[in-house]
Amino acid sequence: MEDIRAKLADRLTAKGLENNETELFIKDVIRIVTSSPGFDLDAIKGQLNLLGWHDDYTDYGTIQLIQACYQDG
Count structural domains, the chain: 1
pLDDT tens-digit map of 35-61: 877 778 999 999 999 999 987 889 999
Instruction: Identify the domain containing residue 46 by its residue range.
Output: 2-70
Q: How far apart are CA 30 and CA 24, in angstroms?
A: 10
Q: How far apart are CA 72 and CA 66, in angstroms?
A: 11
Q: How far apart are CA 31 and CA 40, in angstroms?
A: 14
Given a cut of 60, whether residue 73 has pLDDT beyond it is no
Question: Is-above-0.75 flag for pTM?
Answer: yes
User: Given 3-state DSSP classes, what are the helix, strand and coil percentages for the chain, each rounded to the nearest 5?
Assistant: 70, 0, 30
